[in-house]
Amino acid sequence: MSIKAIPTLRPQDLVILLKIILEENGAWSQVSLANALFISQSEISASLKRSAYARLLQNNNKVVAKQAFLDLLHYGVPYMFPQQPGAVVRGIPTAHSAEPLVQHISSSESENYVWPYAKGHMRGHSILPLYPSVVQAVALDPQLYEFLALIDALRVGRAREKNLALEILTHKLC
């Protein structure tokens, strides 16, 4: 008897699920996701299989199970995909340094968090994005950018940032 490998979620699965949520009418395809997220179609396909296995997709795998996804963000993301702030670099603001949290949380310049990106406009401690192509994808989709910044707050934030991020995510998802 052979033992099958259990599909485990990967960071890019969160990015793909967020993009599906933003495509509210369910009129997305693997090709459209691949083009919008700068992720190969084969990786999109594998991601959808992992997400279906994890019961994060419903209705013939076209719609995200939002409450299950929110539970994953709240309880799983800080432990499954943790980040520690790195060196100060130029990049794109994330976590509490980006919208919508930047409106609610003031921080000194030394506490900014950024995704490393040479064309970025802010200096801050580097936080690796969930997937390398995120930097390209968010340039085309401001809503995706907000969601990913909120998820980064769950990954690296203090209790106040995490609670506020979760509150905003809950409001936007439900």
Q: Quickly tell me which residue has 């190969």 as its tokens.
A: 40
Cβ contacts of 41-45, under 8 Å, gap ≥ 24: 43/12, 44/16
Q: Model confidence at 108, in pLDDT bands (50, 70, 90)? A: low
pLDDT given for residue 110 in this prediction: 56
Q: DSSP readout, 77-115?
A: HHHHS-----SEEEEEE-GGGSTTGGGT----GGG-EEE
Q: Is the pLDDT of residue 3 over 90?
A: no
Within a 10 A sphere around the Cβ of 151, how many other Cβ atoms? 24
pLDDT given for residue 59 in this prediction: 87
Residue pLDDT, tens place only, 95-105: 999 999 998 88
Average pLDDT over residues 29-51: 97
Rounded to whole angstroms, the Cα distance separating 151 from 94 reads 9
